């Protein structure tokens, strides 16, 4: 039987302590990560609300200015006059003056940096702006933008100049262009703070103010939706293009947190950038809390360690050492019961009492062992069967005297096989070997009783490797031949073996005269499954009778079989129309599958 390897209680408790330490570390790490994530989420939400507020404000200003442009291009009479009046007429100059005045009045209302109108056919450019110094620069850049064939003015575009970046919106009715612009710095200054900037759709940050002088884009560059502002610039990766979100990136060797919101009218992002350290600094209080919890857990862990050592490890170690001494044969070993937990005191007291009882029972066990030895000696005597062996030798001698040396050799050969099997068999043998022995015994007996014996064997193939007690079938076959064989009369012996429902069932019957009524009573009492003193008394009485009647082999078979299979069943009857019949049933177990012990049954 394969031994299952087990671990000591010290191993399991050490594993428990290690598991608790690892579990706490994992929980602290998870809690720290979750808390910092919540802190980062709160900072993101607050920052996102601020960015959204300014983004909506900017889009609102863009929408109002755009509405003003559509109103002018569709309803303004002065613009119509400029389209159709002569360029040098008084009506022309009056319309030009009124349109310029209208643009100047709109500047503070809509918060823009400038409005302009351009009539390509008359090459007339009109603008109203806060800073007159930028008139020529804006005029040049705006006209170049209009002249570009690939320019898309369906939304606000970002016009990059040497003076800075400007958001520009232009609309046309085939005869004229009108538009409005506002500086990117003007919008960002209104959003309060240097932490705000704009970025392209791919996350490339656009420099503010004079930062462009240190290597920016050439004058007059247009950035429309989806275009890149150049290589080598700082950028972040938006999680989902066109959607609001936040991300972490590195800028000038420092970790930064970028919160961005798309502008609906300009196709860019409004971005707020803040140092990541500002977020981590807010989490210092979490570090102190985690430190306090960790120290508390360490103290609890140390207390638990000493508790397990004092309350479990030491008592278990003491008991284990005592058990090892006891297994080595020291029945005088005792374990102290004082200064131990109540449960271990009970265990130690039970151990001491058990050792005392075992020591007292050793004498009884020794006497029982002597009894079993006596039974084994009796069994060996029955195995050798000197009377049978003497008869066989006498028969062999007579055969040699009558010139039947061939039969004598055959008898001696079969006799040697019989003796070799009976003297060398173990506690159990395969059923096939037992049946071979029975057939050999019949061949041996046929020489003594020529033309008087027949053997019928009916055994299912799946039963032939079953484990049986040696001489289990032979004893009953030998008993039939001993008491029923007569020269000149054929004695039929039948052995029928089946296995069903985990049980091996054996039927042995002959064509003789059967059991007497007295023998049946004793045999049935012997086969009773009742345990205890009554069973032993019945067995003893039955054995005495069987010894007197010459059936000692039957009692030996029953006792030996029940040592291996405690639940073995024996039935003794007279078969209708035939002679004696024996039925045997016990659990089916193959040879080599652990059937050598009494636990098989």
pLDDT at position 98: 92
pLDDT confidence of residue 151? 77
- 286-295, 358-367, 452-461: range with highest mean pLDDT: 452-461
Query: Cα–Cα distance between 261 and 188 in angstroms, integer?
Result: 14
In a domain, 123, yes or no: yes
Residues 270 and 292 in one domain: no
Say how many domains are in the chain.
3
* pLDDT (0 to 100) of residue 423: 66
Residue 525 has which token pair?
A: 């009492």
One domain for residues 137 and 73: yes
Tokens of 324: 């090892």
pLDDT at 203: 86
pLDDT of residue 581: 94
Last residue of a domain, one of 281, 305, 323: 281
Question: 459 or 379: which carries more pLDDT confidence?
Answer: 459
Mean pLDDT within 442-462:
89
Residue 410 located in a structural domain: no
Q: Which domain holds residue 295?
A: 284-367
The answer to whether residues 259 and 298 belong to one domain is no
Q: Tell me the whole-structure pTM to 2 decimals.
A: 0.46
Spell out where 415-490 has E strands: 429-430, 453-459, 467-468
Worst-scoring range by mean pLDDT, 3-7, 65-69, 437-441?
Answer: 3-7
What's residue 387's pLDDT? 57
Tokens 């009970």 -> residue:
346
Q: Look at residue 597 in the predicted model and tell me its pLDDT.
A: 41
**536 pLDDT more than 50:** no
Regarding whether 270 and 216 lie in a shared domain, the answer is yes
Domain match, 271 and 358 both: no
What is the predicted pLDDT for the residue at 226? 42
Of 281, 297, 318, which residue constitutes the final position of a domain?
281
pLDDT for residue 303: 85
pLDDT tens by residue, 364-403:
777 777 666 666 655 555 555 555 667 677 777 666 766 6
Is a pLDDT exceeding 80 seen at residue 410?
no
> What is the average pLDDT across 177-197?
82
What is the pLDDT at residue 552? 64
* Distances 488 to 256, 453, 481, 577 between C-alpha atoms, Å: 117, 10, 14, 20
Three-state secondary structure call for residue 509? strand
For residue 472, being part of any structural domain is answered with yes
Using CA atoms, how far residue 327 sits from 153, 362, 364, 569, in Å, is 98, 14, 19, 36
CATH number, domain of 499, equals 3.30.565.10
Q: Mean per-residue pLDDT for 144-158?
A: 84
Least confident of 172-181, 339-348, 485-494: 339-348
Contact status, residue 331 vs residue 362, Cβ threshold 8 Å: yes
Vertex 575: Cα angle to 571 and 580 (nearest 5): 70
Token readout for 508 is 């042995």
Q: What is the rounded CA–CA span in Å between residue 116 and residue 125?
A: 7
Q: 100-129: per-residue pLDDT in tens? A: 999 999 999 998 999 999 998 888 999 998
Out of 247, 281, 315, pick the residue that ends a domain. Answer: 281
In a domain, 398, yes or no: no
Q: What is the mean pLDDT of the chain?
A: 79
Q: Quick check: 149 pLDDT over 70?
A: yes
Instruction: Measure the N-to-C terminal CA separation of the chain; round to a whole number of Å.
Output: 16
Tell me: do 450 and 580 sit in the same domain.
yes
Predicted confidence at residue 231, as pLDDT, reads: 39
- Answer yes or no: is pLDDT of 356 > 70: yes
| pLDDT in the model for residue 60 | 92
Q: Which residues share a beta bridge with 179? A: 116, 170
């Amino acid at each position: 039987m394969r031994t299952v390897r087990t671990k000591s209680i010290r191993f399991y408790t050490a594993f428990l302590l290690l598991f608790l330490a690892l579990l706490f570390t994992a929980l602290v790490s998870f809690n720290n990560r979750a808390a910092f994530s919540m802190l980062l989420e709160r900072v993101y939400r607050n920052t996102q609300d601020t960015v959204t507020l300014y983004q909506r404000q900017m889009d609102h200003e863009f929408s109002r200015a755009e509405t003003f442009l559509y109103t002018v291009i569709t309803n303004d009479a002065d613009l119509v006059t400029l389209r159709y009046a002569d360029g040098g007429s008084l009506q022309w100059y009056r319309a030009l003056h009124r349109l310029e005045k209208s643009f100047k009045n709109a500047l503070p209302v809509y918060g823009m940096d400038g409005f302009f109108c351009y009539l390509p056919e008359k090459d007339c450019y009109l603008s109203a702006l806060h800073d007159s110094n930028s008139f020529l620069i804006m005029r040049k850049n705006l006209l170049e933008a209009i002249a570009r064939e690939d320019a898309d003015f369906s939304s606000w575009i970002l016009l990059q100049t040497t003076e800075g970046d400007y958001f520009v919106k232009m609309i046309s009715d085939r005869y004229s262009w009108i538009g409005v612009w506002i500086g990117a710095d003007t919008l960002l200054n209104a959003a309060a703070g240097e932490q705000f900037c704009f970025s392209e759709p791919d996350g490339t940050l656009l420099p503010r103010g004079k930062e462009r002088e240190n290597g920016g884009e050439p004058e007059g560059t247009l950035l429309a939706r989806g275009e890149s502002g150049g290589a080598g610039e700082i950028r972040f990766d938006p999680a989902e293009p066109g959607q609001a979100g936040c991300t972490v990136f590195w800028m000038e060797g420092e970790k930064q947190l970028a919160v961005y919101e798309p502008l609906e009218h300009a196709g860019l992002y409004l971005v707020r950038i803040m140092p990541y350290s500002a977020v981590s600094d807010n989490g210092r209080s979490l570090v102190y809390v985690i430190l306090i919890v960790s120290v508390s857990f360490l103290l609890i862990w140390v207390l638990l360690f000493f508790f397990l050592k004092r309350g479990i490890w030491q008592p278990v170690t003491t008991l284990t050492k005592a058990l090892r001494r006891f297994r080595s044969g020291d029945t005088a070993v005792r374990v102290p019961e004082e200064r131990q937990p109540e449960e271990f005191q009970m265990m130690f007291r039970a151990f001491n009492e058990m050792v005392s009882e075992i020591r007292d029972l050793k004498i009884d066990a020794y006497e029982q062992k002597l009894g079993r030895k006596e039974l084994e000696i009796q069994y060996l005597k029955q195995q050798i069967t000197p009377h049978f062996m003497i008869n066989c030798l006498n028969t062999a001698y007579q055969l040699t005297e009558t010139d039947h040396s061939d039969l004598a050799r055959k008898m001696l050969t079969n006799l040697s096989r019989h003796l070799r099997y009976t003297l060398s068999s173990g506690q159990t043998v395969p059923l096939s070997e037992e049946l071979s022995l029975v057939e050999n015994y019949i061949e041996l007996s046929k020489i003594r009783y020529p033309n008087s014996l027949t053997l019928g064997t009916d055994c299912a193939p799946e039963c032939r490797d079953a484990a049986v007690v040696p001489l289990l079938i032979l004893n009953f076959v030998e008993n039939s031949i001993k008491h029923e064989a007569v020269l000149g009369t054929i004695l039929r012996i039948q052995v029928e073996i089946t296995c069903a429902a985990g049980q091996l069932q054996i039927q042995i019957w002959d064509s003789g005269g059967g059991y007497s009524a007295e023998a049946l009573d004793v045999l049935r009492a012997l086969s009773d499954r009742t345990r205890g003193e009554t069973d032993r008394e019945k067995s003893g009485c039955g054995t005495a009778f069987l010894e007197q009647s010459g059936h000692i082999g039957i009692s030996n078979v029953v006792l030996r079989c029940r040592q291996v299979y405690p639940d073995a069943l024996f039935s003794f009857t007279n078969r209708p129309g035939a002679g004696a019949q024996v039925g045997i049933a016990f659990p089916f177990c193959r040879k080599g599958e652990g059937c050598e012990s009494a636990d098989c049954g």
